[in-house]
């Protein structure tokens, strides 16, 4: 940048003034976290682990600006408290994927509620239209000043939350109708599968992954327990707007890593032969076609397929 291209002083002063204001606002929001048994940094690590699947110690250090040694000590403390578990990353055996245990989720819950309530109180001072304006402005700042590393993984993975079931059911119903002409019975099936998942969810043996980008759900997948030895991958989908980012494969790899960590012997799935993109992913990560059967479902003549991966 040449001297002639430097921003005007008033622009620099405006950015610095905003920075001071924003720092004060964040400080007020962080005060609630200081009332907990965890330090502010520990609470932030718990937050990351609660909202993003597949994180490694390296990821945490990079994204939170923490020293590797400090992250290692903090994670060891969490392990002693039984707040986290580790599993080997499918694509790199040298790395461990870190996840909250049931105790970890219980420890995080009050922190999350306090933080949620504080932000809700902050937004409640504004009318609905101004709340939308504020959030859009925040997204603009993120888009303009985001780090260069952001495009590398422009999404996050998180567990199922309130509102996801309706969204996923609607989107899968619409997408399969548009792409393959399937009728409303497929949407009904998705609703039944998701309802059963929530009603009988066992966090020790089952898991959900929701891919989110810019605050919108862009994909999902679920692992359910079929038996002591067999887990089932269900309802993999990626929004058209997010395809090409590797989300589909990442979701499947998360399922594989989870199933292996839980000691399952086989990961199985049922699909249809016309779902070519999904079948390519399954083949690429090692699934084998074990059964095919023609059937008439969702208003179409289809060929159902069972794919298995020996873990």
Q: How confident is the model at residue 29, as a pLDDT? A: 56
Q: CATH classification of 153-308 is 3.30.450.40, yes or no?
A: no
Cβ atoms 97, 268 nearer than 8 A:
no
CATH class of domain segment(s) 6-143: mainly alpha
At residue 31, the pLDDT reads 56
Q: Does the pLDDT of residue 28 top 60, yes or no?
A: no
- Residues 251-262 have a mean pLDDT of 94
What confidence score (pLDDT) does residue 149 get? 41
Q: Which helix (H) or strand (E) holds 165?
A: helix 164-180
- Which residues have a Cβ under 8 Å from the Cβ of 11 and sit 6 or more positions away? none
Q: What is the mean pLDDT of residues 112-135?
A: 80
Neighbours of 242 (CB within 10 A): 20
Torsional class of 272: left (φ above 0), alpha (ψ -120 to 50), beta (otherwise):
beta
Report how far apart, in Å, the C-alpha atoms of 266 and of each of 49, 87, 228, 310 are.
27, 17, 10, 5
pLDDT band at 5 (very low <50, low <70, confident <90, very high): low
Rounded to two decimals, the pTM is 0.55
Tell me, letter by letter, the H, E, C secondary structure of 192-236. Answer: HHHHHHHHCCCCCCCEEEEEEECCEEEEEEEEEECCCCEEEEEEE
Element (H, E) at 98: strand 92-100
> Where do the structural domains in the chain lie, given as residue ranges?
6-143, 153-308
Rounded distance between C-alpha atoms, residue 68 and residue 82, angstroms: 21
DSSP class of residue 268 equals E
Q: How confident is the model at residue 263 (pLDDT cuts 50, 70, 90)?
A: very high
pLDDT in tens, 192-228: 999 999 999 999 999 999 999 877 899 999 999 999 9
Residue-level pLDDT at 151: 43
Interval 135-144 mean pLDDT = 76
């Amino acid at each position: 940048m040449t001297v002639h291209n430097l921003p005007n002083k008033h622009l620099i002063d405006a950015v610095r003034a905003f920075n001071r204001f924003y720092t004060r606002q964040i400080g007020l929001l962080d005060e609630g976290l200081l009332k907990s048994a965890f330090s502010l940094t520990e609470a932030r690590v718990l937050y990351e682990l609660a909202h993003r699947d597949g994180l490694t110690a390296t990821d945490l250090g990079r994204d939170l600006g923490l020293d590797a040694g400090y992250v290692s000590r903090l994670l060891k403390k969490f392990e002693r408290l039984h707040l986290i578990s580790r599993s080997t990353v499918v694509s790199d055996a040298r790395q461990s994927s870190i996840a909250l245990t049931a105790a970890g989720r219980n420890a995080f819950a009050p922190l999350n509620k306090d933080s949620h309530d504080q932000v809700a109180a902050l937004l409640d001072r504004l009318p609905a239209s101004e709340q939308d304006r504020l959030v859009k402005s925040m997204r603009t700042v993120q888009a303009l000043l985001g780090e260069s590393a952001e495009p590398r993984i422009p999404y996050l993975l998180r567990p199922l939350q309130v509102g996801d079931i309706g969204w996923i059911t609607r989107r899968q119903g619409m997408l399969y109708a548009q792409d393959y002409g399937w009728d409303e019975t497929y949407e009904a099936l998705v609703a039944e599968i998701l309802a059963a998942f929530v009603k009988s969810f066992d966090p020790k043996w089952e898991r959900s992954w929701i891919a989110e980008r810019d605050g919108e759900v862009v994909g999902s997948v679920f692992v359910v327990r079929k038996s002591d030895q067999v887990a089932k991958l269900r309802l993999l989908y990626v929004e058209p707007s997010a395809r090409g980012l590797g989300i589909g494969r990442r979701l499947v790899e998360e399922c594989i890593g989870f199933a292996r960590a839980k000691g399952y012997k086989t990961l199985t799935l049922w699909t249809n032969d016309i779902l070519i993109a999904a079948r390519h992913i399954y083949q690429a990560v090692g699934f084998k076609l074990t059964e095919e059967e023609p059937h008439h479902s969702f208003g179409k003549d289809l060929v159902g397929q069972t794919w298995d991966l020996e873990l």
